[in-house]
């Protein structure tokens, strides 16, 4: 088998595995294809997802269903105002052994799982929210003088209610930046509502089965990293990233007027990785400009911080991103002129 045939075989197998995963999730979740693909993308990129929406839209059920379709360890942390960092990371206790000998022993917290559901993460205090920072970025936990490495894959899927709701605390910028995607969970349409009510008020729901194990997921993550990105596609992603900053060379007027800080380089990493995954979803082994454009909103919307005027005017970060995508051409003027000549 040639190298090209081997690549085609890997891509086809990847697509089949994704289709099987989507089919199993669809047994419990009605619609929300974009949100489901966003969560799967975060898992394949080795990143984390923040799902935002009002209560009752199925955010927690989506995460729980994903865990059921994967042969991975799963834990759920219900964030409340009285939750402490030790309740997440674990704590050191004095263990009494045989003969009365005593020793310090570390009892692992719920963060030690492959998939961690941080439910209503913005209902905990900033002190408790910060307990996730090291785990999300470095995939390890430091307690006392010891550092414990988390098993791969490690994915935090957090849900949050809109900040306008009572009893919520805004997530710090450093933690927001550690989320690969921020996904908005929309209110279902009429047909989707009908299906939801039929499923939940009728007979028993068909249980989901596990279709992917740890080795398969790690292999898929490795394949994602091998997808090539052409220089002009990478250059386009860079120009879009720079345009999120008010002082950026191609920043549109909306950015200059309403944005305080633009996306960090982590946002650019998220865009390129997500573009690669989207190409694989579409049975392609090369990321395109269209792939980049399709993933910019979930990758940047929590990384673009509005200034006071933007918040006072009620501007949404998605509006700023729309203006950026409209203003940034696919190719630079120099390259376009060279192509004509």
Domain match, 37 and 153 both? yes
What's the confidence (pLDDT) of residue 334? Answer: 47
> Is it the case that residue 2 has pLDDT exceeding 50?
yes
Q: Is 100 left (phi over 0), alpha (psi -120 to 50) or beta?
A: left
Measured distance CA(199)–CA(186) in Å, rounded:
19
Domain match, 37 and 63 both? yes
Domain match, 220 and 169 both? yes
Residue 311 lies in a domain: yes
- Of the candidates 74, 75, 111, the one whose C-alpha atom is nearest the C-alpha of residue 91 is 111
Burial class of residue 298 in the structure, from the number of CB atoms within 10 Å of its CB (0-12 exposed, 13-18 middle, 19+ buried): buried
The tokens 């890997």 sit on which residue? 10
Average pLDDT value for residue range 134-147:
86
The token duo for 149 is 């490495």
Domain match, 156 and 274 both? no
Residue 87 lies in a domain: no
Measured distance CA(165)–CA(160) in Å, rounded:
10
Query: Of 226, 242, 276, which one is at a domain's C-terminal end?
Result: 226
**Kind of pairing, strands 70-71 and 74-78?**
unpaired
Q: Is the dihedral of CA 271, 124, 155, 86 positive or negative?
A: positive
Domain match, 168 and 237 both? no
Domain match, 319 and 175 both? no
Residue 198 lies in a domain: yes
What's the confidence (pLDDT) of residue 258? Answer: 94
Percent of the chain scoring above 70 in pLDDT: 94
Question: For the chain, percent helix, then strand, then coil, each to nearest 5?
Answer: 50, 15, 35
Highest average pLDDT, of 77-81, 92-96, 217-221, 333-337, comes from 217-221
- Of the candidates 198, 183, 219, the one whose C-alpha atom is nearest the C-alpha of residue 297 is 183
Q: What is the overall mean pLDDT for the chain?
A: 87
CB atoms within 10 A of CB 285: 17
> How many domains is the chain partitioned into structurally?
2
Measured distance CA(292)–CA(273) in Å, rounded:
9
What's the confidence (pLDDT) of residue 272? Answer: 96
What's the confidence (pLDDT) of residue 341? Answer: 47
Measured distance CA(6)–CA(4) in Å, rounded:
5
Domain extent at residue 124:
1-81+112-226
The tokens 């408790």 sit on which residue? 128
Domain match, 41 and 172 both? yes
Domain match, 136 and 271 both? no
Residue 323 lies in a domain: yes
Domain match, 253 and 326 both? yes
Domain match, 204 and 126 both? yes
> Is it the case that residue 93 has pLDDT exceeding 50?
yes
CATH at residue 153: 3.40.50.300
Average pLDDT value for residue range 145-155:
88
Q: How far is CA 119 from CA 42, 55, 62, 84, 183, in A?
A: 17, 11, 12, 15, 15
Measured distance CA(296)–CA(331) in Å, rounded:
17
> Is it the case that residue 219 has pLDDT exceeding 50?
yes
Domain match, 48 and 185 both? yes
Residue 313 lies in a domain: yes
Express each pLDDT in 296-340 by its tens digit: 999 999 999 999 999 899 899 999 999 999 999 987 644 554 444
Q: How confident is the model at residue 55 (pLDDT cuts 50, 70, 90)?
A: confident
Average pLDDT value for residue range 41-62:
88
> Is it the case that residue 96 has pLDDT exceeding 80?
no
Helices (H) and strands (E) in the chain, counts: 16, 13
Residue 93 lies in a domain: no
- Of the candidates 253, 251, 122, the one whose C-alpha atom is nearest the C-alpha of residue 182 is 122
Q: How far is CA 195 from CA 25, 61, 203, in A?
A: 15, 16, 13
Measured distance CA(243)–CA(194) in Å, rounded:
42
What's the confidence (pLDDT) of residue 201? Answer: 81
> Is it the case that residue 195 has pLDDT exceeding 80?
yes
Query: Of 226, 258, 287, which one is at a domain's C-terminal end?
Result: 226
Measured distance CA(79)–CA(87) in Å, rounded:
10
CATH at residue 332: 1.10.8.80
Q: How confident is the model at residue 157 (pLDDT cuts 50, 70, 90)?
A: very high
Average pLDDT value for residue range 132-158:
88
Express each pLDDT in 222-275 by its tens digit: 999 999 999 999 999 999 999 999 998 889 999 999 999 999 999 999 999 999
Helix axes 265-281, 231-242, angle to 10 degrees: 140
Query: Of 226, 242, 265, which one is at a domain's C-terminal end?
Result: 226
Residue 107 lies in a domain: no
**In the chain, what is the straight-line distance between the N-terminal and C-terminal CA atoms, in Å?**
41
> Is it the case that residue 160 has pLDDT exceeding 90?
no
**pTM, two decimal places:** 0.87
Domain match, 196 and 340 both? no
Residue 92 lies in a domain: no
């Amino acid at each position: 088998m040639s190298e090209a045939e081997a690549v085609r075989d890997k891509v086809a197998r990847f697509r089949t595995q994704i289709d099987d995963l989507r089919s199993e999730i669809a047994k419990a979740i009605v619609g929300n294809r974009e949100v489901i693909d966003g969560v799967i993308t975060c898992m394949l990129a080795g990143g984390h997802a923040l799902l935002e929406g009002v209560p009752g839209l199925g955010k927690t059920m989506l995460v729980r269903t994903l865990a059921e379709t994967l042969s991975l360890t799963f834990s759920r942390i219900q964030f409340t105002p009285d939750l402490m960092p030790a309740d997440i990371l674990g704590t050191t206790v004095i263990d009494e052994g045989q003969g009365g000998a005593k020793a310090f022993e570390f009892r692992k917290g719920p963060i030690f799982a492959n998939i961690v559901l941080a439910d209503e993460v913005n209902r905990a205090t900033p002190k408790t929210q910060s307990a996730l920072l090291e785990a999300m970025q470095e995939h390890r936990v430091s307690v006392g003088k010891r550092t414990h490495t988390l098993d791969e894959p490690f994915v935090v899927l957090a849900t949050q209610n809109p900040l306008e709701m009572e009893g919520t605390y805004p997530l710090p910028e450093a933690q927001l930046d550690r989320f690969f995607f921020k996904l908005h969970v929309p209110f279902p349409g009429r047909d989707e509502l009908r299906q939801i009510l039929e499923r939940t008020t009728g007979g028993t729901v068909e249980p989901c089965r596990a279709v992917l194990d740890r080795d398969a997921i790690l292999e898929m993550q490795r394949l994602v990293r091998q997808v090539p990105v052409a220089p002009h596609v990478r250059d386009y992603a860079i120009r879009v990233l720079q345009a999120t900053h008010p002082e950026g060379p191609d920043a549109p007027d909306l950015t200059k007027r309403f944005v305080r800080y633009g996306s960090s380089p982590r946002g650019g990493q998220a865009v390129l990785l997500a573009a690669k995954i989207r190409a694989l979803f579409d049975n392609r082994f090369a990321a395109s400009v269209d792939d980049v454009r399709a993933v910019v909103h979930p990758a940047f919307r929590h990384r673009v911080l509005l200034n006071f005027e933007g918040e006072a005017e009620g501007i949404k970060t998605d509006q700023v991103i729309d203006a950026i995508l409209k203003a940034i051409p696919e190719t630079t003027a120099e390259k376009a002129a060279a192509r004509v000549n």
